[in-house]
């Protein structure tokens, strides 16, 4: 017998590895005896096994933990991997087995698009359908052009741009976070398992969703703002997992930089702006004017002041300028990078 990490799940050592294929077989057999499973379309159940297989594979190959047993209610979404033709019309969708369901269609579906999979997601505010479409589009390859900017994300500002612009941390977050703390405290005061606790917990979940929405809105707003006046945008290729683990952990998850970069990249593609991630090493330790290493700065040190050439600017702006220079070098505009440096020397 083989017990894994002192968990309660015991699999005989000589049994076959639980793969998607052999679990599907067992599912078919089990489904015949289970009325509850018969109510759900078999493809939907199989998709769950796919997820389970992924969890097993990451245990075998990446030494992740044993897949956790899911209680009723822990899975927040399910997938219909195949949809029949004509299953979406006039703000209603025909889900296999379930039938026609009315929904608020947020955008038009192109007439030549083929509906791929549909994922039904449960959020606090209701049920959502995430529809994957497939149709022929020309994706133009975007070449570096126009005004180049570098962006540095930080804690004291949300983002700093190489031209000196600073975007502050969005203010509504502070207010919402305070509210969240109050609500969370009210949950902890209620009796465990009581109805009042459930009600309070619901309020917390609702606020979480609202914060996520506000954040996404801000990310899109900022991305469009940047795309308005830039032809190429360079950002740092941050090791977000490493950062989140480090001492900046909480801050960097709060700010959602990874999410912001994803939104920014998507926005750039839509607007025809060139987007590139560059090496993020030591961006805050190099002088963008003379490229000398100035040594590590303390987090409280807000100003970059080069002891070599005397160039002085905001610390985050300096880092953004280093990102810009690296980006321009990466796309082969080294001449332009030098030109920028000369320009800055003349007009400090
Ligand atoms: Zn310098």
Residue 240's pLDDT is what? Answer: 61
DSSP 329: H
Helix intervals (H) in 39-121: 42-62
CA of 283 to the centre of ligand 1 (A): 13
Q: Indicate the burial class of 292 (C-beta count within 10 angstroms; 0-12, 13-18, 19 or more).
A: middle
Residues 123 and 209: beta-carbon distance below 8 Å: yes
CA of 48 to the centre of ligand 1 (A): 56
CA of 296 to the centre of ligand 1 (A): 14
Residue 112's pLDDT is what? Answer: 84
Residues 247 and 143: beta-carbon distance below 8 Å: no
Residue 348's pLDDT is what? Answer: 43
Can you give the residue ranges of every domain in the chain? 11-62, 77-134, 148-346
Residue count of the chain, please give it: 348
CA of 312 to the centre of ligand 1 (A): 8
Could you give the C-alpha distances from 162 to 130, 198, 260, 272, in angstroms and in order? Answer: 37, 48, 17, 20
Strand-pair partners of 79: 119
CA of 16 to the centre of ligand 1 (A): 63
CA angle 6, 11, 17 (to 5 degrees): 125
| Sign of the torsion formed by the C-alpha atoms of 337, 339, 340 and 344 | positive
CA of 310 to the centre of ligand 1 (A): 6
CA of 5 to the centre of ligand 1 (A): 54
Task: Give SS3 for 270.
Answer: helix
Strand-pair partners of 134: 114
Rg of the chain in Å (alpha carbons): 26
CA of 49 to the centre of ligand 1 (A): 57
CA of 154 to the centre of ligand 1 (A): 21
Q: What pTM, to 2 d.p., does this model score?
A: 0.77
CA of 169 to the centre of ligand 1 (A): 28
The tens place of each residue's pLDDT in the chain, 348 residues long, gives 444 444 456 677 777 788 899 899 999 999 999 998 898 899 999 998 998 999 989 888 888 888 888 888 788 899 999 988 888 888 899 998 889 999 998 888 888 888 889 999 999 999 999 999 988 888 778 888 889 999 998 777 889 999 989 998 877 777 888 899 999 999 999 999 899 999 999 999 999 899 888 889 999 999 999 999 899 999 998 766 555 555 555 554 555 788 899 999 999 999 999 999 998 888 888 888 888 888 777 777 888 888 888 888 999 999 999 999 999 888 887 555 555 554 554 444
Instruction: Name the nearest CA neighbour of 214 among 169, 165, 182, 183.
Output: 169
CA of 131 to the centre of ligand 1 (A): 52
| Sign of the torsion formed by the C-alpha atoms of 296, 298, 302 and 303 | negative
CA of 316 to the centre of ligand 1 (A): 15
CA of 287 to the centre of ligand 1 (A): 5
CA of 338 to the centre of ligand 1 (A): 14
d(CA 292, CA 239) in angstroms, rounded, equals 24
Instruction: Name the nearest CA neighbour of 318 among 113, 98, 134, 152.
Output: 152
d(CA 31, CA 46) in angstroms, rounded, equals 11
DSSP 190: S
CA of 24 to the centre of ligand 1 (A): 64
- CA atoms within 13 Å, Cβ hemisphere of 285: 8
d(CA 305, CA 318) in angstroms, rounded, equals 9
CA of 341 to the centre of ligand 1 (A): 10
CA of 291 to the centre of ligand 1 (A): 6
CA of 305 to the centre of ligand 1 (A): 8
DSSP 300: T
Residues 6+ apart with CB under 8 A from 93: 87, 100, 101, 103, 118, 129, 131
Strand residues in 135-273 grouped as ranges (E):
148-153, 159-161, 166-167, 232-237
CA of 239 to the centre of ligand 1 (A): 27
């Amino acid at each position: 017998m083989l017990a894994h990490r002192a968990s309660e799940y015991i699999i005989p050592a000589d049994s076959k590895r639980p793969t998607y294929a052999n679990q599907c077989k067992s599912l078919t057999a089990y489904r015949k005896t289970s009325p509850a499973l018969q109510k759900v379309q078999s493809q939907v159940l199989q998709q769950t096994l796919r997820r389970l297989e992924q969890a097993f594979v990451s245990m075998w190959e990446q030494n992740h933990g044993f897949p956790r047993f899911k209680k009723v209610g822990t899975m927040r979404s399910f997938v219909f991997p195949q949809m029949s033709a004509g299953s979406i019309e006039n703000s209603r969708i025909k889900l296999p087995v379930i039938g026609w369901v009315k929904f608020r269609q947020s955008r038009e579906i192109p007439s030549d698009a083929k509906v791929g999979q549909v994922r039904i997601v449960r959020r606090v505010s209701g049920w959502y359908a995430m529809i994957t479409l497939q149709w022929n589009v020309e994706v133009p390859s975007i070449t570096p052009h126009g005004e180049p900017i570098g962006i540095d994300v930080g804690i004291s500002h949300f983002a700093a741009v190489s031209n000196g612009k600073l975007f502050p941390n969005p203010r509504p977050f502070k207010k919402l976070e305070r509210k969240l703390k109050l609500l969370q405290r009210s949950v902890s005061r209620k009796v465990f398992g009581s109805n009042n606790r459930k009600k309070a917990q619901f309020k917390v979940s609702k606020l979480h969703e609202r914060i996520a929405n506000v954040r996404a809105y801000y990310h899109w707003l900022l991305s469009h703002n940047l795309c308005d006046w830039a032809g190429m945008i360079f950002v740092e290729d941050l090791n977000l997992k490493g950062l989140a683990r480090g001492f900046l952990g909480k801050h960097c998850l709060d700010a959602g930089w990874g999410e912001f970069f994803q939104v920014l990249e998507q926005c750039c593609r839509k607007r025809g702006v060139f987007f590139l991630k560059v090496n993020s090493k030591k961006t805050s330790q190099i002088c963008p004017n003379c490229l000398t290493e100035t040594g590590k700065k303390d987090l409280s040190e807000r100003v970059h002041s080069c002891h070599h050439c005397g160039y002085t600017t905001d610390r985050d702006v300096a880092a953004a300028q280093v990102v810009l220079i690296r980006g321009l070098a990466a796309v082969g505009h080294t001449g332009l990078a030098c030109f920028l440096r000369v320009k800055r020397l003349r007009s400090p």
